[in-house]
Amino acid sequence: MAITIVDNNERIISWNKYTEGLLNMNEKELFMRPVESLYPPDEWKKIRAENVRQKGMKYRLETKLVRKYQGFFDAELSLCVLKDNTENIVGSIGIIKDITKLKKTEKKLKESEEKFRRFYENAPVPYHTLSPYGFITDVNEKWCQILGYSKKEAIGKTIFDFIVEEERESAKLSFKDKISSKKFYVEGHERKFLTKASEERTFMINDFLSYDESNNVNSIYTIIEDITGCKKTEKEYHEKLEILNEKLEKKVQERTAEIKQLLEQKDEFINQLGHDLKTPLTPLVSLLPILEKTEGDPKSKEILEVLVRNVNYIKNLVIKTIELARLNKDSTVFDLKDLNLWEEADNAVQDQKYRWDEKGLKVKNKINENIFVKADKLQLDELFYNLINNAVKYTTYGGNITIDAHSDGDFVTVSIMDSGIGINDEQIKYVFNEFYKADHSRHDFSSVGLGLSICKRIVEKHRGKIWVESPGIGKGSTFYFTLKMSKNRGLINNQ
């Protein structure tokens, strides 16, 4: 702080060191210097006038002072007259403060405030400013345009006065939350406002909160985006979409019914065809082997052998086709019982013992003997039979077949793993399709390509799933299916 003392003739008679630095003058230059020379002429006039007005009282003002070689700088001056014992004025004392930096900051602040005001006022979107109690302290031109109120009408009211009645209470609650959120920005939310012309408009509200030094909200700046148009379009769009969905749903239902009917017709046709073929096949299947046995001529015997094989193939095909058609029917119901899984698998293994023995296969049934499932006995037997039959068929001499199961909650997953010829990823997609044979070179007369389709229907009718996994050709395959665990017996502990 610079301190200078001036005599009655307004000449500097005393000062401190700081004054020399501030004014960039030495002792010689300062002593007895007319104080007037330190001010720009206008400022000096101002000071004189103020001196007269204050009548010797203490006062403070902002002015400009000279700094040698450097022009004028902004200064704050505190002045006080000095009196002697007899109350005569003998001079004055001045305290000078350099406020250049302060002035610069003030200027910048003013500029940015001005910029903000201009932006706020002319922004193409509606704005309002609220006090922490929800009172409107400012609105911009666009706000007035959209809501139809003048600034005068809006300022001083609460924002809730402009919100539709049914949303007013919830708006008050969310406002309170906003104030206590300590957030700077509260994400957009929708609110319905009422214009002066009583028109309802939907706005997207975006709040920016400003805080004072004690971290209390002092203002809320809100941008409101009129989305009434979008809302209307959105509503219309939804209505249209709903109508379209209804139409589509109806069409899908019609098509599904048509497809269902066609599938039923197909099943009925296959069923009929199967039964019609079965009748003339019966004498062929029973008589041809007798003829083959009694035939003495080797050439004719050979022909008869081929006939027997083909007739058996047709019989097999007919039986499986009829079975599949039966399973496809909605009316086919299963007789669900609590069955011991190990036992059912073992029956199928033993039934085919002669076949796997012949191929030198090792078959292991590792199923826990205490697992019970809810299933139709005949269908479960057929399922195991088909899958084990395939495992035997597609596993080469000396291979392994392992049957296992594990339960997870309500379901049991059964696996039939073989070390056979395996299936590639492409074939895996189709193996459960009707009449699909992965590779024709694999097939003999017992393969008609319906076994897995039948298995799939059986499992699905039990509300389970069936699938196959294989590491690739030559690396074996594992078929899995799930069945519901028996509720009464489930997995019985050994104790």
436, 426 in Cβ contact below 8 A? no
The yes or no reply on residue 91 touching ligand ADP (CB under 6 A) is no
Strand 12-15's sheet: what is its strand order?
Answer: 12-15, 2-7, 89-98, 71-83, 59-67
Part of the chain binding ligand ADP (CB under 6 A), chosen from 47-55, 100-108, 213-221, 444-452? 444-452
The Cα–Cα gap between 477 and 395 comes to: 10
Task: Examine residue 447 and tell whether it contacts ligand ADP (CB under 6 A).
Answer: yes
Residue 144 as a binder of ligand ADP (CB under 6 A): the answer is: no
- The yes or no reply on residue 126 touching ligand ADP (CB under 6 A) is no
- 70, 24 Cβ separation under 8 angstroms: yes
Shortest Å distance, C-beta 476 to ligand ADP: 8
Applying CB under 6 A, does 183 fall inside the site for ligand ADP?
no
Of 127, 134, 189, 129, residue with least CA distance to 160: 134
Q: Is 442 in the site for ligand ADP (CB under 6 A)?
A: yes
Q: Which of 134, 418, 480, 481 touches ligand ADP (CB under 6 A)? A: 418
Among 4, 129, 140, 477, binds ligand ADP (CB under 6 A): 477
Q: Which of 126, 134, 274, 451 binds ligand ADP (CB under 6 A)?
A: 451
What is the footprint of ligand ADP within residues 389-408 (CB under 6 A)?
A: 390-391, 394
The piece of 9-17, 58-66, 172-180, 430-438 that touches ligand ADP (CB under 6 A) is 430-438
Residue 410 vs 439, nearer CB to ligand ADP: 439
- Closest C-alpha among 384, 398, 393 to residue 423: 393
- The yes or no reply on residue 423 touching ligand ADP (CB under 6 A) is yes
- The number of residues making up the chain comes to 495
Q: How far is the CB of 483 from ligand ADP (least distance, A)?
A: 19
Which of residues 97, 315, 437, 461 is near ligand ADP by CB under 6 A?
A: 437
CA angle, 45 as apex, 43 and 47 as ends, to 5°?
Answer: 70
- How deeply is 372 buried, as exposed, middle or buried, from its count of CB atoms within 10 A (0-12, 13-18, 19+)? buried
Q: Which is nearer to ligand ADP, 327 or 431 (CB)?
A: 431
Going by C-alpha positions, the residue among 76, 70, 462 that lies closest to residue 481 is 462
At its nearest, how many Å lie between ligand ADP and the CB of residue 456?
Answer: 9
Q: Compute the least distance from the CB of residue 314 to ligand ADP, in Å.
A: 14
Q: Which residue type does 246 have?
A: E
Residue 438 lies near ligand ADP (rule: CB under 6 A): yes
Which window, 71-79, 213-221, 255-263, 387-395, contacts ligand ADP (CB under 6 A)?
Answer: 387-395
In the complex with ligand ADP, which residue's Cβ is closer, 196 or 443?
443
Rounded Cα–Cα distance for residues 74 and 81 (Å): 22
Using CA atoms, how far residue 423 sits from 83, 418, 472, in Å, is: 116, 11, 5
Nearer to ligand ADP among residue 185 and residue 445 (C-beta): 445
* 384 lies in the site for ligand ADP, by CB under 6 A: no
Q: Which DSSP letter does residue 491 get?
A: B
CA distance 346 to 403: 9
| x/- track of binding to ligand ADP for residues 184-213 (CB under 6 A) | ------------------------------
Q: How many helices and strands in the chain, by DSSP H and E?
A: 14, 17
For the residues of 310-355, what is the DSSP string, one character each? HHHHHHHHHHHHHHHHHHH-TT----EEEEEHHHHHHHHHHHTHHH
Q: Which of 431, 458, 459, 483 binds ligand ADP (CB under 6 A)?
A: 431
d(C-alpha 190, C-alpha 173), whole Å: 14
| 467: contact with ligand ADP by CB under 6 A | no
Q: Torsion-angle region of residue 182: left (phi > 0), alpha (psi -120 to 50) or beta?
A: left
Backbone angles phi, psi at 127, to 5 degrees: -125, 150
Stretch of 166-174, 209-217, 227-235, 435-443 lying at the interface with ligand ADP (CB under 6 A): 435-443
Question: And the tokens for 320?
Answer: 């499986």
Which one of 188-196, 210-218, 439-447, 487-495 is the stretch in contact with ligand ADP (CB under 6 A)? 439-447
Nearer to ligand ADP, 63 or 477 (CB): 477
Residue of the chain from 2, 171, 452, 483 that contacts ligand ADP (CB under 6 A): 452
Of 356 and 394, the one with the shorter C-beta distance to ligand ADP is 394
- Tell me which residues touch ligand ADP (CB under 6 A): 390-391, 394, 418, 420-421, 423, 431, 436-439, 442-443, 447-453, 477
